[in-house]
Amino acid sequence: MYSLEGTIAALSTPEGVGGIAVVRLSGPESCSIIRPCLSRKDLEPNRAHFMPFLHPKSGDLIDETVITYFKAPHSYTGEDLIEISCHGGRIVPGLILNCLYIAGARPALPGEFTRRAFINGKMDLTQAEAVADMIHAQTEAGLQSARTLLRGRLSKELMHIRQLLTESAALLEVGLDFSDQDIETISHKDVEKRVLAGLKQISSLISSYKTGRILHEGARVPIVGRPNAGKSSLLNAVLHEERVITSDIPGTTRDYIEERINHGGVLIRLFDTAGLRETEDILETAGLKKTHELMSSADLLLMVTVNKEETEHALYLLKQQDKPSIIALNKTDLLSQHEIRSCRSLSTPEIPIIPICAIHESNIGELMETVLKTLQKTYALNTESLAISHLRHQNHLLSARNALLTAQKALNNNLSPEFIIHDIREAISSLDDITGKTTSMDILNHIFDQFCVGK
């Protein structure tokens, strides 16, 4: 059973050697627990106190520390919270934590500080998730996306939608309860207007998911093409290191290899894949299956070709995929200028063709800039607009939209208000699952278990 009782303590900075470390203590007994460890017993809230930290039993000096006390409810968790800044390393923070445990604190569970902040109304569930997103952000774009959620922009948007729907349902219910009395109620036309407004806002959030996911998880960019086109060499050229074994033997790559790079503030996940060809080799067939799965889930396809015939075939294949795509015409050191110009003439605004030579790392910069610009243009990655980044949010928004579409249909068919109210309430419930108003304990446990201890 997940218990939020008692006073908790944990190291909030990474373990290991460092200049300083911060130990957190939070809960109703924070002051009484730390008191035996301090030479001065009273702590003034919101002030840093430089003082020795002592063993609560023997009185031996543990370290010279800076103690900061945040009195409830004006703290991160909404409880009495104390932060102890001490010398870094493995020994001193461990000794301080042990002293706090001796004095009555218990070890914090993963994410328990933020969970207590959520329980105490300091933030809703979307903001709590944004805390973890900020900690795990791998690019500035990802950090900005998480910061937007932490400031509560998604919460405000959902609250606005919820208010629209709640008012509609409430007025419809009044009309039912007092249908035999002369009380002014909302008309079906007004309800339809509010439902439509809610649908538009929800649909806008749903359409932002790809943008948010890319900012949060990175853009999936499989490098695909026929065997010996130079896919592995291209990945090595982008990374400026021999990350992948290359060979003239077709079918060398039988499983995909993923590497991540931060390019222009956007996380790009490059996948070196098995060559596209017909084969009876069992292992190569398994690799090809994974290649097709990666192509299906890609945010952008990077197709490698080596001549005009392959380029023409690649254009045909990419047009069937209906995804942002780029063709890298490789091995240009073996092609004449006439052949290169002939291939480039096939380029279109939708599928640009960039000549490169992976072995000599020629024109790799232009290729990656084209990848970045295509991603930014397709998914609006260079904006500060609100974008959801969690599949959980997307699923609940889809449920809310489906419920409102059903309500809209009931309105159009002039069905009884009971049916419309039910559908609107279903939509509200889905929105509340996002912010944490009605989220189940299992979901909460899953979310906060992903946090590090100390946050």
The closest of 163, 160, 191, 189 to 404, measured between CA atoms, is 191
What residues have CB less than 8 Å from 161, skipping those under 6 apart?
Answer: 198, 201, 202, 431
Q: Is 333 exposed, middle or buried (0-12, 13-18, 19+ CB in 10 A)?
A: exposed
Is 375 in contact with 300 (CB distance < 8 Å)? Answer: yes
CATH superfamily of the domain spanning 139-208+389-436: tRNA modification GTPase MnmE domain 2 (1.20.120.430)
Q: Measure the CA–CA gap between 11 and 259, rounded to whole angstroms.
A: 31
| 146: three-class secondary structure by DSSP | helix
| Model pLDDT, residue 225 | 92
| 75: three-class secondary structure by DSSP | coil
For helices 364-379 and 231-239, angle between their N-to-C axes, nearest 10 degrees: 90
Give the distance, in angstroms, between the CA of residue 3 and the centroid of all CA atoms in the same chain: 27
What DSSP assignment string belongs to 193-262?
HHHHHHHHHHHHHHHTHHHHHHHHH-EEEEEEESTTSSHHHHHHHHHTS--S---SSTT---S-EEEEEE
What are the structure tokens assigned to 370, written together? Answer: 């084209």
Give the distance, in angstroms, between the CA of residue 377 and the centroid of all CA atoms in the same chain: 20
Give the distance, in angstroms, between the CA of residue 61 and the centroid of all CA atoms in the same chain: 43
What residues have CB less than 8 Å from 252, skipping those under 6 apart?
Answer: 227, 232, 245, 246
CATH number of 214-379: 3.40.50.300
Q: Which residues pair with 68 in a beta bridge?
A: 48, 83
Class of domain 8-124: alpha beta
| Model pLDDT, residue 1 | 41
The tens place of each residue's pLDDT in the chain, 455 residues long, gives 456 789 999 999 998 888 999 999 999 999 999 999 998 778 999 999 999 999 999 999 999 999 999 999 999 999 999 999 999 999 999 999 999 999 999 999 999 999 999 999 999 999 999 999 999 888 888 888 899 999 999 999 999 999 999 988 888 887 665 555 555 556 778 888 899 999 999 999 999 999 999 999 999 999 999 988 999 899 999 998 876 555 454 545 546 789 999 998 899 999 998 877 666 566 656 677 888 899 999 999 999 999 999 999 999 999 998 899 999 999 999 999 999 999 999 999 999 999 999 999 999 999 999 999 999 999 988 667 889 989 999 999 999 999 999 999 998 888 888 899 999 999 999 999 999 988 778 888 888 887 887 78
Residue boundaries of the structural domains of the chain: 8-124, 139-208+389-436, 214-379
What residues have CB less than 8 Å from 276, skipping those under 6 apart?
Answer: 224, 225, 226, 227, 288, 291
| 319: three-class secondary structure by DSSP | helix
Is 67 in contact with 25 (CB distance < 8 Å)? Answer: no
